[in-house]
Amino acid sequence: MMLMLKIEGLNVFYGAIQALNDVNLEVNEGEVVSIIGSNGAGKSTLLRAISGLVRPRTGTLNFEGTDLAETSPDKIVKLGVSQSPDGLNIFTIMSVQENLQLGAFIRKKDGEVQKDMDRFLDRFPRVRERLKQNAGTMSGGEQQMLAMCRALMARPRLLLLDEPSMGLAPNLVTEIFSVIKDLHADGVTILLVEQNAVRALEVADRAYVLETGNIVLQDTGKALLTNPKVKEAYLGG
């Protein structure tokens, strides 16, 4: 299995506050790797560092031979790293279709872009139904699906998912994780940050537990589901 992303000794600060402390993490091509932890553990900061939205004080983020710590966010996207952010960060005053087209802004071949849009809309039928309406009129679950679909439009080598189930009703959570399983089956490499530990570990090949900026456990998703410490802290005992 080919190593795609290798993070070593990553330290990120917000002013005097340290958000990540000597984080080491690996993602292999074709894997789903989940990061679980409580609010404020540093999960979203880790994804923001990979995307170039925050800069580490020290450490390396090697993505297929390029150190992302030294690379601008736009070039990181061009390398094949695409993030579906938390907080439903879509362009609410634009149409659903325009949001999807923006997701493919780095791509040149219009015919292939349209083929991909059709393919992803088959996977997200709720998004297809609302293609012409303003994205801001969609429900929270629909907006989350749009954010994922928009990230996929870049045809990423590595897809970063930040809390895709946040604030969603249980039936929509099931739908989102069904899509993640389908993407995994298609060979998409995914780094998933998620507070719903059970769901995150169920879909993960491997997973990391992040506490107050420190990686405290790592194992297969299956092993962490049965780990007594993880069960007590994150899985309701």
Q: Output the CA angle 203-165-35, nearest 5 degrees.
A: 50
Q: Can you tell me the mean pLDDT for 4-13? A: 98
CB 177 within 8 A of CB 130: no
Same structural domain for residues 76 and 165? yes
Indicate the DSSP class of residue 124.
-
| 88 falls within a domain | no
Tell me which residue range forms the domain holding 146.
Answer: 93-155
54 and 170 within one domain: yes
Residues with Cβ within 8 Å of 210's Cβ and at least 6 positions away in sequence, in order, are: 23, 35, 36, 37, 41, 42, 43, 46, 216
Identify the bridge partners of residue 17 per DSSP, sorted by sequence position: 14
Structure confidence at residue 230 (pLDDT): 93
Judge if 133 and 146 occupy the same domain: yes
10-55 residue pLDDT tens:
999 999 999 999 999 999 999 999 999 998 999 999 999 999 999 9
Q: Residue 142: what pLDDT?
A: 87
Q: Which amino acid is at 185?
A: A
Strand order in the sheet with 214-220: 81-84, 158-162, 189-193, 32-36, 206-211, 214-220
> Tens digits of per-residue pLDDT, 175-225?
889 989 999 999 999 999 998 999 999 999 999 999 999 999 999 999 999
Residues 136, 46 within the same domain? no
Asked if 62 and 76 count as a contact pair (C-beta separation under 8 A), the reply is: no
In the block, tokens 């579906």 appear at 84
Show which of 119, 139, 155 is a domain's final residue.
Answer: 155
pTM of the entire structure?
A: 0.92
Separation between Cα atoms, residue 95 and residue 133, nearest integer Å: 5
pLDDT digits (tens, 9 = 90+) for 77-123: 999 999 998 756 788 899 999 999 988 888 776 678 888 889 889 88
* Structure confidence at residue 24 (pLDDT): 98
